[in-house]
Amino acid sequence: MTVTDGEKIYTHYCSACHGNKGDGKGFNAKNLDPRPANHTDAVFMSKRTDKELFDAVSGGGRAVGKAAIMPPWGNTFDKGQIKSLVQYLRKMCRCQEE
């Protein structure tokens, strides 16, 4: 799996809430409380480890103490797909795990 695979997954599954650009302004965002995370915010995203991002995708928001409305994707994506999605998140924020 590559970062391009992660981008395809993000566009298909995540952009409705997080936005096509990852800015948290997807077409469904206005209906959500709390609002979806802005994945382009390097300060916000650099505070999250790759494992935390992986766990958030796999187990949903509730698994990492965030919005329970974010669904768990661990039964939809395999580990390689989730890792490629994490790589794409890092590309969007232009940040790396510290």
Question: What mean pLDDT is predicted for residues 65-80?
Answer: 94
Domains, in order of start, for the chain: 3-93 (1.10.760.10)
Rounded CA-CA distance 97/76 in Å is 25
The per-residue pLDDT for range 4-29, each reduced to its tens digit, is 999 999 999 999 999 999 999 999 99
Scan for tokens 């995708």, then name that residue.
Answer: 57
User: For a pLDDT cut of 90, what percent of the chain falls above it?
Assistant: 86
- pTM of the predicted protein model: 0.92
Rounded CA-CA distance 95/74 in Å is 24
